[in-house]
Amino acid sequence: MVRQFEGDHHAEGLRFAIVASRFNDEIVAGLLAGATNCLLQHGASDDSLEIFRVPGAFEVPGMAAKLIRLNRYDAVVAIGALIRGDTPHFDHIASQVTMEISRVSVDSGVPVAFGVITCNTVDQARARSGPASGNKGWEAALAAIEMANLHKVIG
Protein backbone atom coordinates (compact mmCIF):
# COMPACT_ATOMS: atom_id res chain seq x y z
CA MET A 1 0.00 0.00 0.00
CA VAL A 2 1.27 3.46 -0.91
CA ARG A 3 1.79 5.70 2.11
CA GLN A 4 0.26 9.15 1.91
CA PHE A 5 1.10 12.16 4.07
CA GLU A 6 -0.77 15.40 4.57
CA GLY A 7 -1.03 18.09 7.19
CA ASP A 8 -4.20 18.81 9.08
CA HIS A 9 -5.86 22.14 9.83
CA HIS A 10 -5.21 22.28 13.58
CA ALA A 11 -3.18 25.34 14.52
CA GLU A 12 -2.87 24.62 18.24
CA GLY A 13 0.74 24.74 19.37
CA LEU A 14 1.99 26.31 16.14
CA ARG A 15 3.55 29.78 15.85
CA PHE A 16 2.86 32.04 12.89
CA ALA A 17 4.25 35.29 11.55
CA ILE A 18 2.09 37.32 9.21
CA VAL A 19 3.93 39.80 7.02
CA ALA A 20 1.49 42.32 5.56
CA SER A 21 2.13 45.31 3.32
CA ARG A 22 0.60 48.71 4.09
CA PHE A 23 0.26 49.74 0.44
CA ASN A 24 -3.35 49.28 -0.74
CA ASP A 25 -4.23 49.09 2.95
CA GLU A 26 -8.01 48.98 2.40
CA ILE A 27 -7.54 45.68 0.56
CA VAL A 28 -4.72 44.35 2.74
CA ALA A 29 -6.78 44.99 5.90
CA GLY A 30 -9.38 42.53 4.61
CA LEU A 31 -6.73 39.94 3.73
CA LEU A 32 -5.11 40.39 7.14
CA ALA A 33 -8.45 39.99 8.92
CA GLY A 34 -9.13 36.84 6.90
CA ALA A 35 -5.73 35.35 7.74
CA THR A 36 -5.97 36.19 11.42
CA ASN A 37 -9.52 34.88 11.72
CA CYS A 38 -8.56 31.63 10.00
CA LEU A 39 -5.62 31.01 12.31
CA LEU A 40 -7.64 31.76 15.44
CA GLN A 41 -10.64 29.70 14.33
CA HIS A 42 -8.35 26.74 13.70
CA GLY A 43 -6.94 26.85 17.21
CA ALA A 44 -4.02 29.27 17.16
CA SER A 45 -3.78 31.40 20.28
CA ASP A 46 -3.37 35.19 20.26
CA ASP A 47 0.15 34.86 21.61
CA SER A 48 1.14 32.43 18.83
CA LEU A 49 0.55 35.08 16.13
CA GLU A 50 2.74 38.05 15.35
CA ILE A 51 1.97 40.58 12.62
CA PHE A 52 4.67 42.60 10.89
CA ARG A 53 3.69 45.51 8.63
CA VAL A 54 6.00 46.53 5.79
CA PRO A 55 5.65 49.42 3.32
CA GLY A 56 4.69 47.41 0.25
CA ALA A 57 4.54 43.97 -1.30
CA PHE A 58 8.13 44.30 -2.52
CA GLU A 59 9.33 44.29 1.11
CA VAL A 60 7.33 41.20 2.14
CA PRO A 61 9.87 38.52 1.06
CA GLY A 62 12.80 40.22 2.77
CA MET A 63 10.92 40.50 6.06
CA ALA A 64 9.73 36.88 5.76
CA ALA A 65 13.36 35.77 5.32
CA LYS A 66 14.49 37.80 8.34
CA LEU A 67 11.72 36.35 10.53
CA ILE A 68 12.48 32.79 9.45
CA ARG A 69 16.12 33.24 10.49
CA LEU A 70 14.87 33.91 14.05
CA ASN A 71 13.68 30.27 14.30
CA ARG A 72 10.48 31.31 16.13
CA TYR A 73 7.82 30.42 13.56
CA ASP A 74 6.38 27.24 12.11
CA ALA A 75 5.10 29.15 9.09
CA VAL A 76 4.86 32.65 7.64
CA VAL A 77 1.82 34.09 5.87
CA ALA A 78 2.72 36.69 3.22
CA ILE A 79 -0.06 39.25 2.65
CA GLY A 80 -0.25 42.05 0.08
CA ALA A 81 -2.26 43.50 -2.77
CA LEU A 82 -0.95 44.50 -6.17
CA ILE A 83 -3.38 46.23 -8.50
CA ARG A 84 -2.52 46.79 -12.16
CA GLY A 85 -1.94 50.38 -13.20
CA ASP A 86 -1.09 52.07 -16.49
CA THR A 87 2.62 51.15 -16.52
CA PRO A 88 4.60 47.88 -16.54
CA HIS A 89 5.55 48.47 -12.87
CA PHE A 90 2.79 46.03 -11.76
CA ASP A 91 4.22 43.20 -13.89
CA HIS A 92 7.75 43.65 -12.55
CA ILE A 93 6.70 43.86 -8.90
CA ALA A 94 4.19 40.98 -9.14
CA SER A 95 6.75 38.70 -10.77
CA GLN A 96 9.57 39.59 -8.39
CA VAL A 97 7.46 39.28 -5.23
CA THR A 98 6.10 35.92 -6.33
CA MET A 99 9.53 34.52 -7.16
CA GLU A 100 11.13 35.82 -3.97
CA ILE A 101 8.41 34.50 -1.65
CA SER A 102 8.79 31.09 -3.26
CA ARG A 103 12.59 31.28 -2.99
CA VAL A 104 12.46 32.21 0.69
CA SER A 105 10.25 29.24 1.45
CA VAL A 106 12.26 26.75 -0.57
CA ASP A 107 15.66 27.99 0.63
CA SER A 108 14.66 28.11 4.31
CA GLY A 109 12.56 24.95 4.46
CA VAL A 110 9.89 26.93 6.34
CA PRO A 111 6.44 27.24 4.75
CA VAL A 112 5.67 30.73 3.45
CA ALA A 113 2.04 30.85 2.35
CA PHE A 114 1.25 33.14 -0.59
CA GLY A 115 -1.49 35.64 0.22
CA VAL A 116 -0.37 38.41 -2.13
CA ILE A 117 -3.17 39.07 -4.55
CA THR A 118 -2.53 40.40 -8.05
CA CYS A 119 -5.60 41.98 -9.61
CA ASN A 120 -6.47 44.02 -12.65
CA THR A 121 -9.00 46.20 -10.81
CA VAL A 122 -9.86 47.42 -7.33
CA ASP A 123 -13.20 45.59 -7.61
CA GLN A 124 -11.37 42.29 -8.17
CA ALA A 125 -9.15 43.03 -5.17
CA ARG A 126 -12.15 43.79 -2.97
CA ALA A 127 -13.82 40.54 -4.02
CA ARG A 128 -10.69 38.57 -3.02
CA SER A 129 -10.22 40.36 0.30
CA GLY A 130 -13.75 40.72 1.61
CA PRO A 131 -15.44 38.83 4.43
CA ALA A 132 -17.31 36.49 2.07
CA SER A 133 -16.05 33.13 0.88
CA GLY A 134 -12.92 33.40 -1.23
CA ASN A 135 -10.83 35.66 1.04
CA LYS A 136 -7.29 34.96 -0.12
CA GLY A 137 -5.83 35.88 3.28
CA TRP A 138 -7.94 33.12 4.86
CA GLU A 139 -6.85 30.67 2.15
CA ALA A 140 -3.16 31.52 2.64
CA ALA A 141 -3.43 31.07 6.41
CA LEU A 142 -5.14 27.70 5.96
CA ALA A 143 -2.32 26.62 3.63
CA ALA A 144 0.22 27.78 6.24
CA ILE A 145 -1.44 25.64 8.92
CA GLU A 146 -1.54 22.59 6.68
CA MET A 147 2.06 22.96 5.53
CA ALA A 148 3.38 23.58 9.07
CA ASN A 149 1.66 20.38 10.18
CA LEU A 150 2.94 18.43 7.18
CA HIS A 151 6.49 19.57 7.97
CA LYS A 152 6.00 18.24 11.51
CA VAL A 153 4.70 14.90 10.19
CA ILE A 154 7.71 14.30 7.95
CA GLY A 155 10.24 15.75 10.42
Catalytic residue (choose from 9, 10, 42, 89): 89
Determine the average pLDDT of the residues in 20-34. Answer: 97
Amino acid at 16: F
* pLDDT band of 55, cuts 50, 70, 90: very high
Q: Over 90: is that where the pLDDT of 41 sits? A: yes
Whether the predicted model's global pTM rises above the 0.85 cut:
yes
* pLDDT band of 132, cuts 50, 70, 90: confident
- Taking the C-alpha atoms of residue 29 and residue 151, their distance in angstroms, rounded to an integer, is 29
Beta-carbon contacts of residue 137 (< 8 Å; ≥ 6 apart): 30, 31, 32, 33, 34, 35, 36, 38, 77, 79, 115, 129
Residue 61: its pLDDT value, please?
Answer: 98
* pLDDT band of 95, cuts 50, 70, 90: very high
Asked about 151 being catalytic, the answer comes back as no
- Taking the C-alpha atoms of residue 76 and residue 41, their distance in angstroms, rounded to an integer, is 17
